[in-house]
C-alpha cells in the first residue's frame, strides 16, 4: 500500500479540479486526470464510480457570502465585489463551473441555483420587495460572472491587467445600483 485510500482519493480530486478548470468537462479525460494523480485510470472509477460523479465531487461549491447585514447600506456593493474577487481567486471551483456550465446543463443548473439561493436573502434584506429579488440577483450575476469570464477565462488583457482595486472601483457602483438602486422605468 503506497498511500491510504483517503490520500489517493484526495489526489484524484485535486487533479480532477485542475483539469476540469482548465479544459472543461469534455476535454478533461479520466486518463489525463489519472496520470496527474499518478494512479491507474481504473482507480478513478473505483473511488468515484464514473466521470459524472467525479465531476459532481470536483464541482462542489458555495459562494460563501459573508453576512452583510451589518455593512453600511452604501458600501454593500463594494464589499460584495471585493468578496467575489477573493472567492474567484481562492480556488478553481468557479472556473470549473463556468468552463463546464456553458456546455453542460447540470453545471449550468448548479450555477443558477447557487447565485439565486445565496444572493436572494441579501437582496430581500436590502430592498423590501421579495418579488424584485430574482431580477436583481440576475443583474448582479451578469456583472460578476461577466467580469470573471473576461478576467479569468477569456483573459482579456486589459481585464487581467487591472488591479483588484481598480476592478472594485469600477464595478462597485454597478453592483450597488443593481442591489439598492430604484427600479428604472422600462420606458
Partner DNA sequence: AGTGTAGGCCAACACCCGTTGACTTCGGAA
Partner DNA sequence: TTCCGAAGTCAACGGGTGTTGGCCTACACT
Interface ranges with a copy of itself (CB under 8 A) = 23-24, 26-27, 98-99, 101-103, 108, 111-112, 115-116, 134-135, 137-139, 141-147, 149-151, 153-159, 161-163, 165-166, 168-171, 173-174, 177-178, 184-187
Q: In the block, which residue shows the cell 456546455? A: 103
Alpha helices in the chain (DSSP H): 5-27, 30-36, 41-48, 51-58, 76-90, 93-101, 105-126, 133-148, 157-161, 164-180
Nearest to 178 by CA among 151, 142, 128: 142
Taking every pair of Cα atoms in the chain, the longest distance, rounded to a whole number of angstroms, is 70
Binding residue for DNA, selected from 39, 68, 107, 123, defined by CB under 7 A: 39
45 binds, among DNA, a copy of itself, none (CB under 5 to 8 A by kind): DNA
Closest CA to 80 of 153, 3, 72, 163: 72
Please tell me the total number of residues recorded for the chain in this structure. Answer: 187
- Closest contact distance (angstroms) between CB of 17 and a copy of itself is 16
- Shorter beta-carbon distance to DNA: residue 29 or 142: 29
Residue 2 contacts DNA per CB under 7 A? yes
Q: Rank residues 16 and 145 by Cβ distance to a copy of itself and give the closer one.
A: 145
Smallest separation, CB 94 to DNA (Å): 22
Considering the complex, what minimum distance in angstroms separates the CB of residue 165 from a copy of itself? Answer: 4
* Residue closest to 54 by CA, chosen among 15, 91, 87: 15
**Residue 3 interacts with, from DNA, a copy of itself, none (CB under 5-8 Å by kind):** DNA
Amino acid at each position: 500500500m503506497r498511500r491510504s485510500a483517503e490520500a489517493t482519493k484526495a489526489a484524484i480530486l485535486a487533479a480532477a479540479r485542475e483539469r476540469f478548470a482548465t479544459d472543461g468537462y469534455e476535454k478533461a479525460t479520466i486518463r489525463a486526470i489519472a496520470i496527474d494523480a499518478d494512479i491507474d485510470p481504473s482507480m478513478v472509477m473505483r473511488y468515484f464510480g464514473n466521470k459524472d460523479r467525479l465531476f459532481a465531487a470536483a464541482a462542489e461549491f458555495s459562494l460563501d457570502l459573508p453576512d452583510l447585514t451589518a455593512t453600511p447600506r452604501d458600501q454593500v456593493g463594494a464589499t460584495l465585489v471585493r468578496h467575489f474577487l477573493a472567492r474567484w481567486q481562492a480556488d478553481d471551483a468557479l472556473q470549473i463551473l463556468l468552463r463546464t456550465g456553458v456546455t453542460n446543463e447540470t453545471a449550468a443548473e448548479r450555477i443558477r441555483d447557487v447565485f439565486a439561493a445565496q444572493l436572494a436573502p441579501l437582496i430581500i434584506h436590502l430592498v423590501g420587495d421579495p418579488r424584485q429579488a430574482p431580477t436583481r440577483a440576475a443583474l448582479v450575476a451578469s456583472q460578476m460572472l461577466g467580469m470573471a469570464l473576461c478576467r479569468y477565462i477569456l483573459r482579456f488583457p486589459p481585464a487581467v491587467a487591472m488591479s483588484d482595486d481598480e476592478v472594485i472601483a469600477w464595478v462597485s457602483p454597478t453592483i450597488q445600483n443593481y442591489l439598492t438602486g430604484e427600479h428604472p422605468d422600462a420606458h
